[in-house]
C-alpha cells in the first residue's frame, strides 16, 4: 500500500459526507466540493479535508503518536483503533447529533473477513464476518477484496484491505 495521507483519510471520511449534510454539520459549499471529488474519483487536498472534518482532525492530532499527525500510520491508527472509543464515549459530535445507538454503530469502523463476493465487478457486495455477526457491505469504494481477506468497514462500505497490525 503506497497511499498518501490524504487518500487514507478520504477513504475513511467519504462515507460520512452525506450524513454530515443531513445533520447540517458541513458547509454546503464544502459538501459540494467534496462531492465533486467523489464523482470524479479524485482525492481532495489536505486543506479541504481539514476544513470539512475539523472534529476528526482534532481527534487525530490528540491520538497521534508523533508530532507530525498527518501520516498514513497515524490516520489509519485513529480510524482503526481510537475512532470507535470516541463514539462509545459519546464525545464531541456523538453526544447530541448521534443519539441513536444504531447510527453510532453504523459510524464505527469495524474489521471483518470477506465470506462472499457478489454482483458485477463495478458494484460488488461483500458478505463480511465480523465475529459476532455477518453482514452485507457495499464495495462501492473498494472492489478488490477477495474471499478470506480482511477489510475495514465504515458506514457499511468496505474501505480497504487490512493486512497490517497496529
**Predicted local distance difference test score (pLDDT) of residue 166:** 62
- Residues 80 and 117 both lie in one domain: no
Contact by Cβ (8 Å): 119, 125: yes
pLDDT category at 1 given cuts 50, 70, 90 is low
Distance CA 95, CA 27 (A): 20
- Least Cα distance to 122 among 151, 142, 148, 147 occurs for 142
Chain center to CA of 124: 18
The DSSP annotation for 75-99 comes to: HHHIIIIIHHHHHHTT-THHHHTT-
Does one domain contain both 32 and 49? yes
Residues 71, 150, single domain; the answer is no
Lowest mean pLDDT across 5-14, 70-79, 83-92: 83-92
Q: What is the pLDDT of residue 66?
A: 79
Domain extent, residue 140, equals: 108-161
Same domain for 48 and 123, yes or no, is no
pLDDT on residue 141: 84
CA distance 152 to 45: 23
pLDDT digits (tens, 9 = 90+) for 118-138: 999 888 999 999 999 999 999
Are 88 and 115 contained in the same domain?
no
Asked whether residue 166 is domain-assigned, the answer is: no
Is residue 83 domain-shared with residue 148, that is, in the same domain? no
Least reliable range by pLDDT among 62-71, 74-83, 154-163 = 62-71
Give how many domains the chain has, as a whole number: 2
- The pLDDT value recorded for residue 140 is 86
> Quick one: DSSP state of residue 110?
E
Are 120 and 79 found together in one domain? Answer: no
Amino acid at each position: 500500500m503506497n497511499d498518501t495521507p490524504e487518500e487514507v483519510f478520504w477513504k475513511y471520511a467519504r462515507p460520512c459526507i452525506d450524513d454530515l449534510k443531513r445533520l447540517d454539520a458541513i458547509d454546503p459549499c464544502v459538501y459540494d466540493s467534496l462531492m465533486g471529488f467523489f464523482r470524479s474519483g479524485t482525492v481532495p487536498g489536505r486543506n479541504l479535508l481539514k476544513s470539512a472534518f475539523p472534529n476528526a482532525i482534532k481527534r487525530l492530532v490528540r491520538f497521534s503518536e508523533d508530532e507530525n499527525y498527518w501520516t498514513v500510520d497515524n490516520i489509519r491508527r485513529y480510524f482503526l483503533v481510537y475512532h470507535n472509543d470516541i463514539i462509545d464515549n459519546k464525545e464531541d459530535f456523538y453526544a447530541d447529533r448521534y443519539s441513536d445507538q444504531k447510527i453510532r454503530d453504523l459510524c464505527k469502523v469495524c474489521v471483518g473477513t470477506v465470506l462472499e463476493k457478489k454482483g458485477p465487478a463495478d458494484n460488488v457486495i461483500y458478505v463480511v464476518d465480523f465475529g459476532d455477526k455477518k453482514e452485507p457491505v457495499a464495495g462501492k469504494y473498494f472492489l478488490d477484496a477477495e474471499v478470506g481477506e480482511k477489510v475495514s468497514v465504515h458506514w457499511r462500505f468496505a474501505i480497504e484491505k487490512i493486512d497490517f497490525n497496529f
